[in-house]
Structures are given as structure tokens and as C-alpha cells.
Amino acid sequence: MAAAVLLSGCATSYVVDNQVQTFSALQTVPTPATYRFERLPSQQSAPGGQARLEAAAEPALAKAGMVRNDGAARYSVLIDSTVLSSTQVVDPWMYSRFGPWGPYGRRFYGGGFYGGGFYGGAWGPAWGYRYDMWDRSYAQREVSVIIRNLANQEVVYETRAVHESRWPDDPALLAPMFDAALSSFPQPPAGVRRVNIELPKAQQ
């Protein structure tokens, strides 16, 4: 599901909904919980992009109690992000006899008027271009975090978060997705769970 847009007066907040699954061999937050980032050969070929990805994950790791210390790391952390799939959703009104011009054209985004009057009430249906039509592409983005014990090279924590959005490449989605992926660290519930992360409100 795409990020929800919640309108309240003049303020807009965004809720980034994620499907999260985690596997953990940790019972408590380790001491010391020091780490350094690990990069695969493919990630080393694009250091700028990987550095931005790690920067987006670092605040979530800090919230989980992990401390970055490249010189005295107890754990390595491997970060990744990819677009998994794409879905095309088609608006049936687009292919009606009215086409994109017709009744129920949504004139105001989030304004409460779905036509001339309220929801096409006493003033009759609105006729306008349907710029909110469903003929859109959605993509699923996944972020993953793998934590490895450097002493024995064992993976002690693996977590993934998946979010569906019209704008999967929006860098603003990465930090809340990592927050979701690392929620309930170090003992998350079993199975797939939904984790919603609300972004700060921005005044319009």
C-alpha cells in the first residue's frame, strides 16, 4: 500500500506503511554494540550511492542501541535496498464513455469536494479532468539490514522492510523504512508484521 497522506487543517503528515520480517539470534542489546559497515563487491563499485544508503540507516541503528566505531567494531552491518516489483493499476473511469473528462472528477485534492457541492450533492456532479485517475504505476521497495558477529562471522540479525509507493526512488522513504526494519530490536515478534512510521508534519 502506498504511503498514506493524512490531512489535518493546514498540516500534512505522511505514514509510511511497511511489511517487516526479522530473524534474530540476539536476546539483548549486545555490549559493546559497536559496528562498522560492510560492503559487497557490487556495492563497492558505487560508493556514493551506498554511502547515502548507509547514512539513511545510521539513525535507525543508533535508535536500536548500535554505535558506529569503525576502529573497534564488534559487528559488521550490511545495508541494501532494491525495487522488487512494479504494478500497474488502471482506472475503469478512464475507459468509460466519458474518458478522463466526466462526472466525479476530483477537483480538490484532500479538500473534501468531490464535484460541484459536497460529493456531487445538490449542485450536481462535477465535470473536470480526472487528474487523480488510477492509471498509475506502483513499485515495491525493500530495505534490508544484516548484522554479523565479526568474531565468528555468524549472522545474528537479519531484517527486511517492504513498502509500496508511487515514488520508490524518493530518498525520504529510506530512513523511515530502516526505522521500521529495526523496530523491536533485538527481539522482534515472529512472522511478518506491519510497522507504520509517521513522518514529521510539514506545514502547507
pLDDT at 49 over 80: yes
Based on the domain organization, do 103 and 142 belong to the same domain? no
Tell me, yes or no, whether 118 and 84 share the same domain: no
103 and 35 part of one domain: no
Q: Of 134, 150, 165, which closes a domain? A: 134
Range(s) of the domain holding residue 53: 4-88+136-203
Is it the case that residue 4 has pLDDT exceeding 90?
no
* Rounded Cα–Cα distance for residues 80 and 25 (Å): 20
pLDDT of residue 170: 83
Number of domains in the chain: 2
Alpha helices in the chain (DSSP H): 41-44, 47-63, 174-181
Tell me what pLDDT residue 92 has: 53
- Regarding whether 140 and 126 lie in a shared domain, the answer is no
* Residue 127: CB atoms within 10 Å: 14
Distance of CA 189 to the CA centre of its chain: 20
The verdict on 18 and 119 lying in the same domain is no
Mind listing the pLDDT tens digit for each residue in 119-128?
A: 344 444 444 4
Provide the pLDDT for residue 87. Answer: 64
Q: Examine the domain organization and report whether 114 and 23 are in the same domain.
A: no
Q: In the chain, what percentage of residues exceed pLDDT 70?
A: 66
Residues 71 and 125 in one domain: no
Residues 73 and 98 occupy one common structural domain: no
| Cα–Cα nearest to 159, from 19, 16, 17, 2 | 19
- Higher local confidence (pLDDT), 108 or 146: 146
Residue 144's nearest CA partner among 20, 27, 15 is 20
Q: Quick one: 70 and 143 in the same domain? A: yes
The answer on 109 and 70 residing in a single domain is: no
SS3 4: strand
Residue 130 pLDDT greater than 50, yes or no: no
Residues 10 and 64 in one domain: yes
Which of 35-49, 87-101, 184-198 shows the lowest mean pLDDT across its residues?
87-101
Q: What is the pLDDT of residue 111?
A: 37
Digit-coded pLDDT (tens) for 134-176? 556 778 899 999 999 999 999 999 999 999 988 777 888 999 9
Please check the confidence at residue 32 and state whether its pLDDT lies above 50.
Answer: yes
- With H, G, I as helix, E, B as strand and everything else as coil, classify residue 87: strand
Burial of 38 (0-12, 13-18, 19+ CB in 10 A): middle
- Together in a domain, 16 and 78: yes
CATH number for the domain harbouring residue 164: 3.30.160
